[in-house]
Copies of this chain bind each other. A is one copy, B any other.
Amino acid sequence: MGLQTYTVGVDFGGTNIKVGCVTPHGWVVRSLVLPTRAHATPQTFLDGIEGAMAQLCAASKIRRSQIRGVGVGVPGLVDGRRGVIYRLVNVPGGWEGVALRRLLERRLRCPCAIENDVNTVALGEWRFGAGRGTRHSVYVTLGTGVGGGLVVDGTLVRGITGAAGEIGHTGVQLNGPRCACGRRGCVEAFVGTAGIVRRARQAIRAGRVPAHAALRGRPDSGRSGSQLARLAVLHGGRLTPKLVSEAARAGDRAAMDIWQEVGYYLGAALANVVNLLSPERIVIGGGVAGAWPWFGRRLRATVRELAFAVPASACQIVRARLGDEAGIIGGAILVEEGG
């Protein structure tokens, strides 16, 4: 019997680069974190990955020959098939047109693969997380942006450009609110962080809860938006989806309504995906998915309402499972996927 083999998964984020050793069954045996700032150019990135691999191998008593390959999820537009970066988001350092896969393979002397980070997590959740056991799985990440990744017939859908899966920028409302992408009515404009915060501000204004009353909290807590206003004041006016969740938990009617809207608009976008692809499972991840108790039921009901009965009833909508390790695990799968 040969030695256990591992794949290295890399989750290249705007703030941190996570590098981990993953078993063929999707377990992260060891991982470490590098600051993106120190590794933001192709050259320093390669240095960082090489060093991290040496560290991981030494700490886990793994020989380099046991590493079957390295897969990297990158934050931006990528041609995974050719292994080339179109452009990165939130990472400076001259990445346009860089053939990162070839650079990695030359430096690390093993098979490497790169892919968009959301697609990478989509693969991870499909193979070892909440999408496990399905042939057709859709992953959606909720956060500042709303991203997606599609697995059809057990293969990641890249499309001709590698840019497939942009669920967040499918439109649900012509002439709807302006999205960060510049267009109007994308589902991200409704359920991305900016959209949620915008609605929370509207709710506070509509409730006209004065700051001092808001701070007292309890007496007014039945009033719609009062908890939202109180939390906003406590946090120096800085609202986040997390605070909107807290307000909902505290029984704030306006905050609950905001999550119902999130469920509705996301449901409208996913009903379109269900009618187009008839997936077996839709997996909801990302930071804002933590508010699932406040929007999950409405999300499911909306998909049932707006999609056709046959594909809707065959599609489960569930929360992601892999948490913070999803990017590392997905990265490790990229190598098998073969780019």
Ordered by A's residue number, 30 sampled pairs between the chains whose C-beta atoms are within 8 Å are A77-B310, A86-B310, A135-B160, A136-B160, A150-B276, A150-B277, A152-B153, A152-B157, A153-B155, A158-B278, A159-B279, A159-B280, A159-B311, A160-B278, A160-B279, A160-B315, A163-B308, A163-B310, A163-B311, A164-B276, A164-B277, A167-B275, A167-B276, A170-B272, A170-B275, A171-B172, A171-B268, A174-B268, A181-B308, A273-B276
Segment 268-312 of A: residues with Cβ below 8 Å from B: 268, 271-273, 275-280, 306, 308, 310-311
* A183 to B170 CA separation, bound complex (whole angstroms): 19
A161 touches B272 (CB 8 A): no
The count of identical subunits is 2
Segment 131-154 of A: residues with Cβ below 8 Å from B: 134-136, 148, 150, 152-153
Q: Which 4 A-B pairs rank lowest in CB-CB distance, beginning with the nearest? A: A159-B278, A170-B272, A166-B275, A160-B280
Number of interface residues of A (CB under 8 A): 45
B136 touches A166 (CB 8 A): no
For A155, the chain B residues whose CB sits under 8 A away are 153
B169 touches A172 (CB 8 A): no
Is A162 part of the contact surface with B, judged by Cβ < 8 Å? yes
Interface string of A66-82 (1 = CB under 8 A from B): 00000000000100000
Is A173 part of the contact surface with B, judged by Cβ < 8 Å? yes
Partner of A272, one of B157, B165, B171: B171
* A14 to B275 CA separation, bound complex (whole angstroms): 23
Partner of A310, one of B135, B161, B273: B161
Given A152-B157, A167-B275, A174-B268, list of 8 further CB < 8 A pairs? Answer: A150-B276, A153-B153, A160-B278, A161-B310, A163-B311, A164-B276, A164-B278, A276-B276
Is A234 part of the contact surface with B, judged by Cβ < 8 Å? no
What is the interface of chain A mostly: helix, strand, loop, or mixed? loop
A278 touches B162 (CB 8 A): yes
Is A250 part of the contact surface with B, judged by Cβ < 8 Å? no
Is A33 part of the contact surface with B, judged by Cβ < 8 Å? no
Is A314 part of the contact surface with B, judged by Cβ < 8 Å? yes
For A136, the chain B residues whose CB sits under 8 A away are 159-160
Interface string of A181-215 (1 = CB under 8 A from B): 10100000000000000000000000000000000
B278 touches A170 (CB 8 A): no
Interface string of A239-277 (1 = CB under 8 A from B): 000000000000000000000000000001001110111
A311 touches B164 (CB 8 A): yes
CB closest residue in chain B, given A156: B153
Minimum CB–CB distance from A162 to chain B (whole Å) comes to 7
B314 touches A275 (CB 8 A): no
* A90 to B280 CA separation, bound complex (whole angstroms): 28
B308 touches A166 (CB 8 A): yes
Segment 59-110 of A: residues with Cβ below 8 Å from B: 77, 86
* A73 to B160 CA separation, bound complex (whole angstroms): 28
Interface string of A324-339 (1 = CB under 8 A from B): 0000000000000000
